[in-house]
Amino acid sequence: MPDSQNHVGDDAAMTQTTVATREGTTTTLPRETVEAFREHLRGQLLSPADAGFEEATRIWNGMIEKRPVLVVQPTGTADVVAAVHFARDHDLLLSVKGGGHNIGGTALADGGLTIDMSRLRGVLVDPETRTVTAQAGCLLGDVDREVQLHGLATPLGFISETGLAGLTLGGGFGYLTRRFGWTVDNLLEVEIVTADGRVRRASRDEHEALFWAVRGAGHNFGVVTAFTYRLHEVGPTVYGGLIAWPAERADEVLETYRKLTTTAPRELTAFLVLMRAPPAPFVPEEAHGERICAMTVCYSGDLADVDEALAPVRALGDPVVDLLREQPYAQLQSSLDETEPKGMHYYWKTEFATELTDDLLSTVCDLAAECPIPAGQLVVAHLGGALNERDEDDGAVGNRDVRFVYGAAGMWEPDDPNAEQFRQWIRDARARIHPFSTGGTYINFQTAEEGDERIRTTYGDNFDRLVEVKNTYDPDNLFRSNRNIARP
């Protein structure tokens, strides 16, 4: 029987529901239509009057002001199929929410229907074949925890509360990318509900074109309900953490970082962060609020070799913070969670680069010194390695020349009176760092205001092929609450 809590409001006077359509208008659904849909579900159908609605529509970036009218919480693939049919048949604006961590707020359909996948969090590990299948509501931490029981991992992100689905469908990267490539380079198969309501399994051997497109632009083609990944031996103990120096030493820290990332083994990944030191217990009180140059590090190789791998970092000496140590890989994967609390306002601009030139590093350093945002950051993430060894058209993700992602990021309280000034500063910062870009950028890091041309340049020569797949599997653009593939 359907869940007894599965209802849409208790107001007997409610006879109809007004919902946004795909084309920006509204449509009116009679109560009996909504109730019939509800009765067809095993999971819940929520409206703003229902308990659980606020939590179901609360996403990470508090800056996003969107509110769906209806939220489906599937308990299985059949509920997803029903929701897709309902949205298509009634021409409803539709979105899919995995972890709700996308900065652009694509998880919510404003005034429309949102499929909230949060009840689908099963993880099945096969240590013999070194594969894991995870449902689309999983967070990264759900997967890391289960696979690490077997000393295995796949490249995921570096905030454990990020949704697995959104990260993967946009390409995905993290500390293990240098060893094993983009997250989608390790994706073996998906179960996906396409716009016609059919359940398909896509892989390199079945629905190959769809699988190719899902690996980097997957938000556009359907609702993925399960992902199967290749696993690798990692951990369970790695070496890493955060280490930082005063901003006065920025020149030597940045030069060391450049040399480190040029010669580092693939088992070592280091992200550079220029910021103000937070008032955290691990930061000396006299350094609170002071500008620092930090690195977050993960060394996942043989721990007997870690001293040699990190020798350039240790040679800098006299850090103001040093949290580098042996620790469980799953713990390192969640160590930055508290730096991105849910509900704060987030805004950033990022780019891809092939090298760290003198001009790029000096511009990053200058921007860090000028940044007016108390919790602002200039970030350089080290990529390259395994992802560079595949062809540009091996998956829609492309960007096979990338070795760094860099940018300016800001975080502030929802009621901060300087919010617009902060956003403008980041936009201006982007204008200064863009000349060093490959032209592409990580699709999951794009904000809602970035236009179609930004999407096109991100996919480069793969874009036209994506349009063909879009026309095949979603010709009416049902799946448009995303970084949408514009079709002629």
What are the pLDDT tens digits along the chain (488 aa)? 334 344 444 443 358 999 999 999 999 999 999 999 999 999 999 999 999 999 999 999 999 999 999 999 999 999 999 999 999 999 999 999 999 999 999 999 999 999 999 999 999 999 999 999 999 999 999 999 999 999 999 999 999 999 999 999 999 999 999 999 999 999 999 999 999 999 999 999 999 999 999 999 999 999 999 999 999 999 999 999 999 999 999 999 999 999 999 999 999 999 999 999 998 888 999 999 999 999 999 999 999 999 999 999 999 999 999 999 999 999 999 999 999 999 999 999 999 999 999 999 999 999 999 999 999 999 999 999 999 999 999 999 999 999 999 999 999 999 999 999 999 999 999 999 999 999 999 999 999 999 999 999 999 999 999 999 999 999 999 999 999 997 65
Give the CATH number, domain containing residue 305: 3.40.462.20
- Both 268 and 183 in one domain: the answer is no
Q: Is residue 83 part of a domain?
A: yes
Q: Please answer whether residues 350 and 380 qualify as being in contact, where contact means their C-beta atoms are separated by less than 8 angstroms.
A: no
Q: Is residue 1 part of a domain?
A: no
The last residue of a domain, from among 202, 233, 264: 233
Tally of domains within the chain: 3
* C-alpha 23: how far from chain center: 27
- Both 101 and 204 in one domain: the answer is no
* C-alpha 278: how far from chain center: 24
Give the CATH number, domain containing residue 143: 3.30.465.10
What separation in angstroms does the CA of 393 have from each of 161, 187, 216, 231, 485?
30, 15, 11, 23, 17
Q: Please answer whether residues 450 and 420 qualify as being in contact, where contact means their C-beta atoms are separated by less than 8 angstroms.
A: no
At 289 the pLDDT is 94
Closest by alpha carbon to 287, among 311, 318, 332, 254?
318
- Both 87 and 144 in one domain: the answer is no
At 488 the pLDDT is 59
279 upstream amide cis, omega within 30 of 0: no
What is the C-alpha to C-alpha distance for residues 171 and 156, in angstroms, rounded to an integer? 10
Domain region containing 284: 237-445
- Both 223 and 269 in one domain: the answer is no
Helix 452-459, helix 463-473: angle, nearest 10: 110
The last residue of a domain, from among 70, 93, 116: 116
pTM for the structure as a whole: 0.95
At 9 the pLDDT is 45
Residues in CB range of 144: below 8 A, 6 or more apart:
153, 156, 160, 329, 330, 333, 334
- Both 261 and 300 in one domain: the answer is yes
At 80 the pLDDT is 98
User: The tokens 């074949």 sit on which residue?
Assistant: 129
State the burial class of residue 323 (Cβ atoms within 10 Å of its Cβ: 0-12, 13-18, 19+): middle
3-state SS assignment for residue 86: helix
